[in-house]
Homo-oligomer: A and B are copies of this chain.
Amino acid sequence: MASRAGSAPTIVDVAAQAGVSIKTVSRVLNQEPGVQEATREQVLKVVAALKYRPKLSARSLAGARSFLIGLLYYDPSAAFVAGVQKGATLRCREAGYHLVVESLHNDAADIDQQVERMVSALRPDGMVLTPPLCDNPKVLKALRESQTPCVLMSPGRQVKGQPSVCMDDVHAAEEVTNLLISLGHERIAFIKGATDQAASARRYQGFDNAMRAHGLAVDPELVHQGDFTFKTGVEGAHQLLSRRVRPTAVFASNDDMALGVLAAAQRLGLAVPADLSIAGFDDSPAAGLVWPPLTTVRQPVDQMARTAVEMLIGANRSDAEPPTEASLHRVLPYELVVRDSTSAPFDRPARVAGKARKR
């Protein structure tokens, strides 16, 4: 018997045509054990012939899973969204899951209700939280109360028992600083990021570590408080470059600020990197689209998102290992991207194309 014309085939059509019960079809589709190989093949043949696809809403209503992963974000940089989406959607598809995206206002008074509303309507099997939402207590509380598994991306602080994915900001900042020092710089200025973002402190920490390790004092006059915007990069440059003894290098803790430093330096008639080396952080698209291209650090954003989705899907499986504290907090490798904005002090600009080093 063929399936009714017009409407899509259902599990009943497949069962009838394969000469088995719908329960058996369900078993095959969900890869449950205890189906004879011959039966399995017969069912799969009919599934293919009918182009049968189980309907998500029915599976979701009847079963314990929704096959939906939620992604929450607030005011992210464009490069960040793009990377996260790429990693998350691809991993979702591999596992037959789908990604539902919602944007929220981190400062909204009713943000907990917004989250609660979304979760109770959608019942996602898990949620990926990006900064700064992953550090928002209201959001975390609403999710905990609804018992929705979460993975935090680059959270400010690890929460015990709360899965997270991040990169090693401290170590990356150390490496950038080491690069500048190895080029011969000693008066190295630093521009800090927004105080409400945890990465800011970690990056400064790395800078400080590296300086101390080389016996170089961090001159408070050469540390500027920025907020991750282009504007504070420009301001920082003006202030730092007006010191009695100028720095020979500026390490801005993100690319937007580094671009501000570059723009300011160019307006002041300084040659980069001959008169001033500049390093950033993030490897934003713009970092490679300026002259000279910026030395920076690439966050593995898409890998982080992919890993986050994987953790959520894995946790939903019955055969999942009991998680250890270590398996809950994944630290992914970053990439130091050395380009032309850094050189030995007073060097002629390098003419070599950008190259990347992994660690």
Contact = CB atoms under 8 A, between A and B. Distances in A.
Nearest to A230: B289
A54 B121 CA distance: 6
A101 B68 CA distance: 11
A261 to B, nearest CB: 11
Contacts of A57: 56-58, 60-61, 66, 123
Interface in A266-319: 266-267, 284-286, 288-291
Given A55-B61, A230-B288, A76 B66 contact: no
Q: How large is the interface on A (under 10, 10 to 19, 20 to 34, 35 or more residues)?
A: 35 or more
Nearest to A66: B57
Contacts of A121: 53-56, 67, 96, 98
A187 interface: no
Q: Which secondary structure dominates where chain A touches chain B?
A: helix
A82 interface: yes
Given A78-B78, A79-B78, A98 B85 contact: no
A259 interface: yes
In order of increasing CB-CB distance, the 5 nearest A-B pairs are A286-B286, A263-B291, A57-B60, A78-B82, A78-B78
23 contacts: A51-B120, A53-B117, A54-B121, A55-B61, A55-B123, A57-B60, A57-B123, A78-B81, A81-B82, A81-B85, A85-B85, A85-B103, A93-B102, A98-B100, A99-B100, A99-B101, A99-B102, A101-B101, A230-B288, A256-B289, A259-B286, A259-B290, A260-B289
